[in-house]
Amino acid sequence: MIDVPPNSPYAIAIASGARANMRVYVARLGDLRPGATPWRRVAEYEDVIEAVAIADSSLYLLSSKDVPNRQILRTPLSNPNLAHAAVVVPHSERVLVNLVSAKDGLYIVGMDRGVDRLFRIQNGRGRAEEVPLPVEGSINSLVADLNHDGAIFSLEGWTEPREFYEWRPQSKHLADLGLCTPSSADFSGILVERVEVRSFDGAMVPLTILRQEDLKLDRSHPAVLRAYGGYGSSITATFGPSRLALLEHGAVLAYAHVRGGGEKGRDWYLAGKGPNKPNGIRDFIACAEYLQTKGYTSPSKLAAAGSSMGGVLVGSAIVQRPDLFGAGVIYSGVLNPVRYLHGPNGASHLAELGSPDTEEGLRALIAMDPTMAVRSERDYPPVLLTVGLNDNRVAPWHTGKFAARLLATRGTVPVLIRIDPEAGHGIGSTRDQVTDLMIDTNSFLLWHLGLGRPR
């Protein structure tokens, strides 16, 4: 990708892939030539740069090299040099997520255990000042323009619909732009709880729980526990009216922010990456145990759910601890990572999973592989696996092999594959496809978790 910021004499070239960090190059606009531009290298993958912005004559970079929660660096565009870059925002307990540049300065998103905050640094210098927000949730679509002051962004919470806001620094006013259609979904009786769960090694795992306010914690309620745990991607607040279909039946919805995600910084990600993937699996199991110990649900009423790279996590949890779950739902999951290089997109997962071509790498992949961990003599809970036959990100055979192994056990519970011949990895699915998938998934959960009438 090549970016040419307005009024800047420089262009930025960014190269990346299925990884958070990027390569960064800079060139003067006047030197751009087809196939012969003298790009100057600023950063390679090992420099762990995850976002960049231009302001005045400087390049600002979001870096997590040697610091788990990232810091912001500044280097002159005329002679960029990371080794001598100035630290604009130092590392702290807050995880820095994004940055953009406006005429009046830098705007930065920082995250506290899954909750986003917005900060402004006037003219890219000095102290970061927090912008007051009306909702505790997630910031998306953050944009700014070097020709104008302020920034525009969307903000949403677990129970608050998305709205677009503009921060106007001169008046210190946050304006609701009224760009979103008001939602008729009523979340007024839904409680959002944020807790931390002690995992097997003492690590504290953030867990977000949605439930009805007056729900009695008597272990009688169905629950769905979701996680992803890959690529440093964080589970942040999203407003989903379709969740009411389960919440109104008295269900509990929980989101485990396990290692492998980015909720607690780069160290949290690395602690669940590659050979450390089992940490995230055991974090998920600890969260399942917490929900049962605290009375939210019981084993026969708890479903484990995940998608894509989350298939490694959720599939392994179901196979390792089938006694904890009454059902499982896995969407387009990576379920046979030992063989992932044989998929059309397999090579892009090397950085995340490691290589099966070394003894150490192969042993690590075997330790996280749900398909290889299935044992014929064990009983497993009912599982619904969904797949699109046009999926070029995760090959559909992952789903087929995992289902075949489960069906070869002594158990008699259903192992179902939901196939959409027109779908891919879910990206770009039509509204009807998304709705049909939700209906089929909820029907499966109604069937196996004993959901009753809406309360």
**171 and 201 housed in the same domain:** no
The pLDDT value given to residue 16: 82
Domain count across the chain: 2
**161 and 204 housed in the same domain:** no
Render pLDDT for 367-379 as a digit per residue (tens, 0 to 9). Answer: 999 999 999 999 9
Two tokens, residue 30: 């006047």
Render pLDDT for 122-148 as a digit per residue (tens, 0 to 9). Answer: 887 778 899 999 999 999 899 999 999
CATH number at residue 169: 2.130.10.120
Q: 283 or 9: which carries more pLDDT confidence?
A: 283
Please answer whether residues 88 and 67 qualify as being in contact, where contact means their C-beta atoms are separated by less than 8 angstroms.
no
441, pLDDT greater than 80 = yes
398, pLDDT greater than 70 = yes
- Among residues of the chain, what percentage have pLDDT more than 70? 98
Domain membership flag for residue 454:
no
Residue 391 pLDDT grade (very low, low, confident, very high; cuts 50, 70, 90) = confident
Looking at every residue in the chain, the average pLDDT score rounds to: 92
CA–CA gap between residue 120 and residue 135 (Å, rounded): 18
**405 and 432 housed in the same domain:** yes
Render pLDDT for 177-216 as a digit per residue (tens, 0 to 9). Answer: 999 888 899 999 999 999 999 999 999 999 999 999 999 9
Which residue type occupies 206? P
Q: 16 or 386: which carries more pLDDT confidence?
A: 386
Backbone dihedral angles phi then psi of residue 282, each to the nearest 5 degrees: -75, -30
The pLDDT value given to residue 2: 85
The pLDDT value given to residue 410: 86
**199 and 153 housed in the same domain:** no
Burial class (CB within 10 angstroms; exposed 0-12, middle 13-18, buried 19+) of 139: buried
Residue 112 pLDDT grade (very low, low, confident, very high; cuts 50, 70, 90) = confident
Residue 452 pLDDT grade (very low, low, confident, very high; cuts 50, 70, 90) = low
Render pLDDT for 147-166 as a digit per residue (tens, 0 to 9). Answer: 999 999 999 999 999 999 99
**136 and 260 housed in the same domain:** no
Burial class (CB within 10 angstroms; exposed 0-12, middle 13-18, buried 19+) of 346: middle
**32 and 158 housed in the same domain:** yes
Q: Range of 345's domain?
A: 190-449
Two tokens, residue 392: 């070029």
78, pLDDT greater than 70 = yes
Render pLDDT for 305-358 as a digit per residue (tens, 0 to 9). Answer: 999 999 999 999 999 999 999 999 999 999 999 999 988 888 888 889 999 999
The pLDDT value given to residue 298: 97
**332 and 396 housed in the same domain:** yes
Helix (H, G, I), strand (E, B) or coil at 402: helix
The pLDDT value given to residue 455: 54
CA–CA gap between residue 68 and residue 6 (Å, rounded): 32
CA–CA gap between residue 296 and residue 223 (Å, rounded): 8
Q: 201 or 393: which carries more pLDDT confidence?
A: 201
393, pLDDT greater than 80 = yes
**318 and 412 housed in the same domain:** yes
Residue 34 pLDDT grade (very low, low, confident, very high; cuts 50, 70, 90) = confident
CATH number at residue 433: 3.40.50.1820
**163 and 197 housed in the same domain:** no
Domain membership flag for residue 181:
no
Domain membership flag for residue 182:
no
Backbone dihedral angles phi then psi of residue 290, each to the nearest 5 degrees: -60, -45
**345 and 202 housed in the same domain:** yes
Question: Residue 254 pairs with which residues in a beta bridge?
Answer: 209, 225
Which residue type occupies 10? Y
Average confidence (pLDDT) over 28-50: 88
**134 and 11 housed in the same domain:** yes
The pLDDT value given to residue 453: 55
Domain membership flag for residue 74:
yes
* Least confident range of 48-57, 282-291, 321-330, 383-392: 48-57
Residue 30 pLDDT grade (very low, low, confident, very high; cuts 50, 70, 90) = confident
The pLDDT value given to residue 18: 66
**136 and 230 housed in the same domain:** no
